[in-house]
Every structure is written in structure tokens, then in C-alpha cells.
Amino acid sequence: MAVQQTSLTVTIVTRTDTTELVLSAEIVASDNNESSTYYIEEVYYLRLHQSPNITTLNYNSTIGTVSTTGGAQIASVPYNPSKPEYLVFTGSDSANLAKSFYSSGATWLTPIGKVFDESGAETSYTITKPEIGYTKVMANKKIYGVFRVEYITQFTKYSFTSNEDGPMVIFFIGSDT
């Protein structure tokens, strides 16, 4: 007789007290043997990105357990070169990377097509990298433009598992107090 495995529905929530704090989590398939289905009694991993000004971090899960697996790790973004990450300015002087910034090479930003100023004229521009641990990229003026980005991100890996089936909510709450 075959044993049927029960799957979990995993929801990850991150929250901070202010917009000055950066906190985000993601489940990356390559950390989990390319799996996107989570079964009870199996261990899976997630990556937590946080800004350096988070001094207190509370985390837990509604069922099962979640725990850190060690210190800071780094990875190149995009994780998969065939799926590039884009930074999009839509008439603003700022845009956000998908993950927290740690470092980059000299060619971290490549424009895709033309860049325009807020009046619609093609323009030159200067882009400033984010501070370490943050996502906000600044331009020297309001622009419309799309850029392919490559950078290094830093994260902490957490494991999660449950012996109970059903929805699992994993939450992270960060503060600077």
C-alpha cells in the first residue's frame, strides 16, 4: 500500500516598525532540491535578507519549527543567469532592487534601451548603488529607464519543517529597538 505524503502551504510574512528597515524572505528552489512543494516531516530552507540597522529580530511559525542554520551567506543575483533581474525607474529618482545589496562589480548596471528624463527627452544620468544591506538605488534626477542588474546579496538561511499538515505561516518581525 502506497503512503500518501501530505503537503504544507507555506506563507512567509516580514514586518518592520519603520520604512527605514529592510526585511524580506524568499524560498529559493535551488536550496530545496528544486522543490516548490513542501511535505510534512521534510526540512526546507528559506533566505532572510535584512538591513544592518535591524537590532531585534523575532521569528516563529504557526505550526512546526523555524530556525537559523548559521551566519551570513552571500549569493550572486540573479541566482539564475537565464532569468535576469531588472531595475525599473518610472519617472522617479529612485528604484528598489529585489534583494538587499551587499556588493557588485564595475558593470553591475546595464541599460536596456534608452533612458528619458521626466519631460520625455533622452538623457544622461548617474546611478548610485545602495548602501550595504539596503535595496534603494538612486538616480541624480527623475528618469524613465530599465536596467539589467547584477550584484551580490547577503542573507541568513533558515530551515523550516512541520509534522502537521495544513497552512504554515512563518513570520519575521524586525525592529531597531
Q: Write the CATH number for 36.
A: 2.60.40
Between 6 and 27, where is the model more confident? 27
121 falls within a domain: yes
Q: How many domains does the structure of the chain reveal?
A: 2
Task: Give dist(CA 29, CA 127) in Å, integer.
Answer: 31
80 falls within a domain: no
Cell of 78: 540573479
Q: Indicate whether 152 pLDDT > 90.
A: yes
pLDDT of amino acid 85: 95
Claim to verify: residue 147 and residue 159 sit in the same structural domain: no
Contacts of 37 (CB under 8 A, 6+ apart): 7
Claim to verify: residue 11 and residue 64 sit in the same structural domain: yes
Q: Indicate whether 1 pLDDT > 60.
A: no
| Domain span holding position 125 | 85-152
pLDDT tens-digit map of 74-97? 999 999 888 999 999 999 999 999
Strand, helix or coil for residue 32: helix
Task: Give dist(CA 18, CA 173) in Å, integer.
Answer: 11
Mean pLDDT of the chain: 92
